[in-house]
Amino acid sequence: MNKVKTVFFCQNCGAQSAKWIGKCPSCGAWNTYAEELIQKSTSSTVHQTGSNERKQTAKPLPIHTIAAAEYPRLMTPDMELNRVLGGGIVPGSIVLMAGEPGIGKSTLLLQVALRLESKKILYVSGEESPQQVKMRADRIGIKNDSCYVLAETNTALLFQYIHELKPDIVIVDSIQTLQTNTIESAAGSISQIRECASELQRYAKESGTPVFIIGHINKEGSIAGPKILEHMVDTVIQFEGDRHYSYRILRTLKNRFGSASELGIYEMQGEGLREVNNPSEILITQRNEPLSGICIAATLEGIRPLLIETQALVTAAVYGNPQRTATGFDLRRLSMLLAVLEKRCGFPFGLKDVFLNIAGGIKVEDPAIDLSIVAALISSFNDMPVSSSVCFAAEVGLSGEVRAINRVEQRISEAQKLGFERIYISQYNKVSKSNKGIQVIALSKVDQLIQALF
Ligand code: TYD
Ligand code: MG
């Protein structure tokens, strides 16, 4: 006999409770509990996902006796995706791709599926009909006979098709549309997402097939559904970017098989997403006449050097409270840099409105961008341009000291490759004196920077 049961789930963190509560004891959010109907059918213990290999029981083994499994990674033709995944797709891994609606998640994964010619790929589309997927494939303009589209949201039927087809890669667009028979609540609810994801996870691990899951993100910008979804998958990648720009950034948030600070850059075009192999070129605007308030920072995203333009505008404050606005940079860090300039170098920023912008819609967390921001602020304050052939890479401390950063050699060589003539770094960074073609200037205090530039 089936037992009908309802449980209250926190829609924020996925915690469950037998009765409604106002404040979630696990994540602290208010009024997030919603009732969901759960019906565990008696057959639910027999999952249709896997083979019978799991019947044998696991035994504890000494770690040195375990043979290291060689994971031959599958390289996709998309070099940006390979890098973000930590060097190709790991067999049996489960990858969650999250992003805002319309950012290009479906386009990216369909494009990769179409370009992987030798592999059999199953694209499960719960959001769009096969005709719509076909229209997108026509736009991308790549023909591939081994890419199959399935418009099915019921996981039991889905796994049946998977066992018939035996695909090399499964793409699920999106996890919020899937539904399992073992749970009665609506598709997209916390318990459904959790159960469907665990069925997919079991399938991936048992069959060794990599599975890509597309997930929505909610208003606040975090991945919709329970936090446990992020724990269950091996890799979480986020696709982001400003809708008004055509550039898109693919970022790793979690990776069990590689670095979690990788970045891939794409450009959305009429026929799909184009990989941007040399991002520094697009992030620096081409200008003929020198402009004040613009400086170039040599930053590092993951292991990849990126030269990024920082723009500052300093104007007289018209209201009592001076305004500070920062796009792509931490506002508190900007206030700190302004305080340092005010106290240590005597610039009266307290009377000025300050606007800061990182070009290209990119968010930067690398502290090495500080020196470039300081230079842009002073350049705009004095209305004196900084030559477009110099760049900066150093952190600025509270007493106005210029601090060392990591991997300075890599940044210098990237700047040199892009034709910069001078780079300002910290005196505490040890650099071998073999940089031909670029002048490396070491500073210890912000004052020295001001003397050197203006
Ligand atoms: P889509 O992949 O449907 O986004 P998501 O799955 O993340 O919701 O991409 C939607 C946007 O991409 C849509 O606004 C149109 C644009 N687009 C292009 O500019 N060129 C293309 O070739 C394709 C397929 C989409
Ligand atoms: Mg989509």
pLDDT digits (tens, 9 = 90+) for 103-126: 999 999 999 999 998 899 999 999
Ligand whose nearest atom lies closest to the CA of 238: 1
Nearest to 110 by CA among 94, 96, 124: 124
Tokens found for residue 318: 């018209």
Q: Confirm or reject: Cβ of 139 under 6 Å from ligand 1.
A: yes
Q: What is the pLDDT of residue 108?
A: 94
By alpha-carbon position, which residue is closest to atom 9 of ligand 1?
A: 104
By alpha-carbon position, which residue is closest to atom 13 of ligand 1?
A: 102
pLDDT digits (tens, 9 = 90+) for 398-408: 999 999 999 89
Task: Report the distance separating Cα 454 and Cα 452, nearest Å.
Answer: 6
Q: Confirm or reject: Cβ of 244 under 6 Å from ligand 1.
A: no
Ligand whose nearest atom lies closest to the CA of 175: 2
* Ligand 2 center from residue 215 Cα (angstroms): 9
Percent of the chain with pLDDT over 90: 51
By alpha-carbon position, which residue is closest to atom 8 of ligand 1?
A: 102
61-65, 78-82, 259-263, 305-309: segment of lowest average pLDDT: 259-263
Ligand whose nearest atom lies closest to the CA of 114: 1
3-class SS of residue 78: coil
Q: What is the pLDDT of residue 448?
A: 93
Checking if the pLDDT of 40 tops 70, the result is: no
pLDDT digits (tens, 9 = 90+) for 340-390: 999 999 999 999 999 999 987 778 889 999 999 999 999 999 999 999 889
Q: What is the mean pLDDT of residues 79-86?
A: 91
* Ligand 1 center from residue 104 Cα (angstroms): 5
Checking if the pLDDT of 206 tops 70, the result is: yes
Looking at the DSSP bridge assignments, the partners of residue 402 are 396
**The ligand 1 atom nearest the CA atom of 99:** 7
Q: Confirm or reject: Cβ of 101 under 6 Å from ligand 1.
A: yes
243-247, 264-268, 330-334, 355-359: segment of lowest average pLDDT: 243-247
pLDDT digits (tens, 9 = 90+) for 215-257: 988 766 677 666 778 889 999 999 888 777 788 889 888 999 8
pLDDT digits (tens, 9 = 90+) for 392-431: 999 999 999 999 999 898 899 888 888 889 999 999 988 8
pTM to 2 decimal places: 0.75
By alpha-carbon position, which residue is closest to atom 1 of ligand 1?
A: 104
**The ligand 1 atom nearest the CA atom of 239:** 7
* Ligand 2 center from residue 339 Cα (angstroms): 45
Instruction: Identify the helix (H) or strand (E) that includes residue 335.
Output: helix 331-345
Q: What is the pLDDT of residue 414?
A: 85
pLDDT digits (tens, 9 = 90+) for 122-140: 999 998 999 999 999 999 9
pLDDT digits (tens, 9 = 90+) for 175-201: 999 999 888 888 888 888 888 999 999
User: pLDDT class for 45, splitting at 50, 70, 90?
Assistant: very low
Q: What is the pLDDT of residue 403?
A: 95
**The ligand 1 atom nearest the CA atom of 136:** 24
Pairing of strands 94-99, 3-10: unpaired
146-151 LR contacts (CB < 8 Å, sep 24+): 146/117, 146/118, 146/119, 146/120, 146/121, 147/113, 147/114, 147/121, 147/123, 148/120, 148/121, 148/122, 148/123, 149/123, 149/125, 150/122, 150/123, 150/124, 150/125, 151/124, 151/125, 151/126
* Ligand 2 center from residue 214 Cα (angstroms): 8
* Ligand 2 center from residue 268 Cα (angstroms): 14
Radius of gyration (C-alpha) of the chain in whole angstroms: 26
Checking if the pLDDT of 2 tops 60, the result is: no
One-letter amino acid at 74 equals: L
Q: What is the pLDDT of residue 4?
A: 66
Higher pLDDT among residues 287 and 252, named by residue = 252
Checking if the pLDDT of 1 tops 80, the result is: no
Q: What is the pLDDT of residue 41?
A: 52
3-class SS of residue 99: strand
Ligand whose nearest atom lies closest to the CA of 243: 1
Q: Confirm or reject: Cβ of 47 under 6 Å from ligand 1.
A: no
